[in-house]
């Protein structure tokens, strides 16, 4: 009987870890797809693509760490997220030309409008 419980527990743990790995892979693919969609019509150079990819990946890790931080209140997290987004936008604007930045801002504004409209 104990052996059955032990086997069931081992299978459960294995299933959870496999599921977590798949979720992590899905999140990375989702981030790559969003990045590709956002930057697709900006005519980026390879150097810009590489820098933006690094910037986005770092931002994703920082946001995840912030969301997982149990020592902060929701208001503190929201405030820090806003700061992080502002810092990330400033860094992105240093990578992009003025025209690319304006085009990206318009695209992001449009995406936010669609998202908020979809929730209504």
Q: Which residue has the tokens 């912030």?
A: 66
Please state, as a whole number, how many other Cβ atoms lie within 10 Å of the Cβ of residue 6: 10
Query: Over 80: is that where the pLDDT of 28 sits?
Result: no
Report domain extents, the chain: 1-31, 41-118
User: pTM to 2 decimals?
Assistant: 0.66
Reading the block at residue 92, the tokens are 């992105």
Reduce the DSSP state of residue 79 to 3 states and report it: helix
Give the whole-angstrom CA distance, residue 64 versus residue 87: 16
For residues 69 and 84, the answer to whether their CB atoms sit within 8 Å is: no
CA angle 80, 28, 18 (to 5 degrees): 110
Per-residue pLDDT at 20 exceeds 60: no
Report, as an integer, the average pLDDT of 88-101. Answer: 94
pLDDT at res. 96: 94
Q: Is residue 10's pLDDT more than 60?
A: no
């Amino acid at each position: 009987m104990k052996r059955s419980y032990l086997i069931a527990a081992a299978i459960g743990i294995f299933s959870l870890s496999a599921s977590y790995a798949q979720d992590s892979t899905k999140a990375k693919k989702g981030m790559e797809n969003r990045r590709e969609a956002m930057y697709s019509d900006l005519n980026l150079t390879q150097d810009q693509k590489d820098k933006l990819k690094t910037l986005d990946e770092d931002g994703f890790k920082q946001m995840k760490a912030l969301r997982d931080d149990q020592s902060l209140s929701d208001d503190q997290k929201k405030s820090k997220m806003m700061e992080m987004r502002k810092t990330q936008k400033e860094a992105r604007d240093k990578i992009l030309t003025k025209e690319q930045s304006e085009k990206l801002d318009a695209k992001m504004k449009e995406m936010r409008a669609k998202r908020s409209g979809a929730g209504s």
